[in-house]
Amino acid sequence: MRKLNTEEIPRLSPEAFKTLKKYPVCIVLDNIRSHHNVGSFFRTADAFRFESILLCGITGTPPHRDIRKTALGASETVNWTYHEDSLQAVKTLKSEGYYLISIEITENSTSMESFSLPMEKPIALIFGNEVKGVSQEIINLCNMVLEIPQEGTKHSLNVSISGGICMWEIYKKLRVK
């Protein structure tokens, strides 16, 4: 088996990507401190053809050089908007009919191993600050809270790693649809 070099990998042009129908998933980044984490979300949202990213609060915005470094151009292909107030942005998504899913550890969170999606609604995946997580006020608005099962001592993953895991699981379920 031979590894493909970069030129051999079939890729869409940014123009072609923008014309494709996207999966109805909006990623909400609530006060993410690291520009590298933000760039990683852009790159993953591009990989799975998700519709948009909402950058909220202190979350950095393109064209910051650290976001661009990690996103590798995805900040130009994935639609994004900035919202000063995370709670208000999430309330707006709810009023627009989005099914709101926070990624957090709560009393009644659903394990990533056993969740299902309402296939008739667009989805908003909400990721919180690297230290404080998703705010309780936003969790209170959510239809579901997903938890990634963990067996180590930390019970905490980097937010962009959590994003990759959750976005992959959502993509798999939507792709089957």
Dump pLDDT digits (tens) for 126-151: 999 999 999 999 999 999 999 999 99
In a domain, 123, yes or no: yes
pLDDT of residue 156: 87
Say which DSSP state 120 is in. Answer: T
pLDDT value for 154: 86
Helices within the chain (DSSP H only): 14-19, 35-47, 65-71, 86-95, 136-141, 159-176
- pLDDT tens digits along 52-111: 999 999 999 999 999 999 999 999 999 999 999 999 999 999 999 999 999 999 999 999
**Mean pLDDT of the region 120-127:** 97
Question: Quick check: is 6 in a domain?
Answer: no
Inform me whether the pLDDT recorded for 46 exceeds 80: yes
| Rounded average pLDDT over 160-167 | 97
Within a domain: residue 112?
yes
Residue 7 belongs to a domain: no
pLDDT of residue 108: 92
- Starting at the edge strand found earlier in the chain, the sheet holding 110-111 runs 79-83, 50-56, 23-30, 123-127, 99-103, 144-147, 110-111
Task: Establish if 15 belongs to a structural domain.
Answer: no
Task: Say if residue 177's pLDDT is above 80.
Answer: no
Q: How many domains does the structure of the chain reveal?
A: 1
Residue 53 lies in a domain: yes
Kindly state whether residue 9 falls inside one of the protein's structural domains: no
pTM for the structure as a whole = 0.94
The CATH number of whichever domain residue 125 belongs to comes to 3.40.1280.10
Residue recorded with tokens 């401190």: 33
Can you give the residue range of the structural domain that contains 41? 20-148+155-176
Which residues are registered as beta bridge partners of 90?
none
The reply to whether 10 falls in a domain is no
